Amino acid sequence: MHSMQELSAEPGITFDLAVIGSGPGGYEAALRAAKAGMKVCIIEKAALGGVCINWGCIPTKALLRSAEVFDLFKKADSFGLKLQPGTIDLAEAVKRSRNVALKMSKGVAFMLRRAGVDVRQGEAVFSTPHDLDIFRDGVRVDGVSARHIIIASGAHPRALPGLEPDGTRIITSREALALKSVPASMIVVGGGAIGVEMAWFYAMAGSEVTLVELMPRLLPLEDEEIAEVLKRSLQKAGITVVTSAKLESVSIEGDKVTAQLVSEANDSQLLTADYLLVAVGVSANITGLGLENTGVETSRGFIVTDSVCRTSVSHIFAIGDVRGGMLLAHKASAEAVIAVHSIAGIPCHSLDDSLIPRCVYAEPSVASIGLSEKEAEDRGYKVRVGRSMFAASGKANAFGNLEGLVKLVFSAADGRLLGAHVVGHGAVELIGELTLARRLSVTAEILAGTIHAHPTLSETIKEAAENALQE
């Protein structure tokens, strides 16, 4: 590793590594590099932990937990509990969610401090390929020079023309995480993970929700069968789900939003709601970084990198959402390890997308890894598919959560697991075993022959593997 002597030999270079952004990619990179003996600085313009901890993964899961409790409360009778009808205090649920986020952010600050990482507050802008100016409120307050730089600046919600958020009636998930009271009605545009989670939360809280997706199905990147089960379940929860449709002529009139809902068949209907939540993906945070002063190449709004996260400038790396690909916190953390290993000269494997799990935290939740049935067939595999319904599970029946299934896709030639897809209560916790199975190229025989505890939801995985072998 670089020694301090080496550092001082290069005039003006004060750090081995500077990291821009303290989200799950940035803080992981800073911690790893510090542990490897590098002198590290991290620059963050907002709260430590980035969007994930402060306005994304963590607070949404805390709110979704409140929604699960609301939902259970409504079903209390079926569990033999006699309760007075309750009311939802959204402000309290939001307060709890903010406290969870704050606790996690403080945890990141503590870990960085303990690792000896120098934390600088402000916006980082490249002045040269090795030098960063730090701005607060448009004023330069600081500057650092580093031998290596990792850009982990994340992304922000994407705006659609005609659906630009105004923060009051047309909102993004960020405003939706801090509403003071439950709106009577809400339109959610975008049937990906964030749109589905927000639609489900507000429906559980008592809003009348319409969920609009441009593609023919919700979660367009997931297995078709799984997306269909989720859609039926959301409809059962009272959400109006409209696919192959878009919004036009959006306008704000008083404290309402109105829009024309235009479907593929060109049918049009007028929708009115208290809020319009736009959840149509994200755009990378690359403007304002001063990339024009570095020679770092970008393409279609993301930073171009090689398989070890290196940009077109050899000492500058990019990880997480700013790099593109799957926009997931755990992908950013995995890329942090790869980038730091590359800088330290430690050989490492590049990231394999088929080993990255994907999760949606509504109820039922959705979790998947690897190829869908159709993707596997499109790639020329002969497949064996195994299914097992949670309705047949003793634990699911005892729990009162019968919806959903485990669907496993195996190669017919050698029995290896190619993809796993779960929709149901606790799906996001079941994906761990399937991720390991995918990582170790486990076969249907091995999964079917593994003794699972009874009664558990995880037995459904074993049963799906058995089902594939019976085909």
Active site residues: 454
Coil, strand, or helix at residue 174?
Answer: helix
Q: How far apart are CA 442 and CA 447, in angstroms?
A: 7
Q: Give the largest CA-CA distance in the chain.
A: 74
Asked if 129 and 294 count as a contact pair (C-beta separation under 8 A), the reply is: yes
CA pseudo-torsion sign 362, 368, 372, 375: positive
Q: ω into residue 347 within 30 of 0, thus cis?
A: no
What φ, ψ does residue 385 adopt, rounded to 5°?
-115, 135
Q: How far apart are CA 383 and CA 156, in angstroms?
A: 38
Asked if 420 and 391 count as a contact pair (C-beta separation under 8 A), the reply is: no
Buried b (16+ CB within 10 A) or exposed e, 231-257: bebbeebebbbbbebbbeebeeeeeeb
Rg value, the chain, Cα:
24
Q: How is residue 421 written in tokens?
A: 């897809």
Strand ranges for 122-255 from DSSP E = 123-128, 131-136, 139-151, 155-157, 170-171, 185-189, 208-212, 240-242, 245-253
Q: How far apart are CA 154 and CA 163, in angstroms?
A: 22
Q: How far apart are CA 249 and CA 256, in angstroms?
A: 14
Helix or strand holding residue 271 (H, E): strand 268-273
Burial group, residue 116, by CB count within 10 angstroms (0-12, 13-18, 19+): exposed
Q: ω into residue 165 within 30 of 0, thus cis?
A: no
Q: How far apart are CA 8 and CA 245, in angstroms?
A: 60
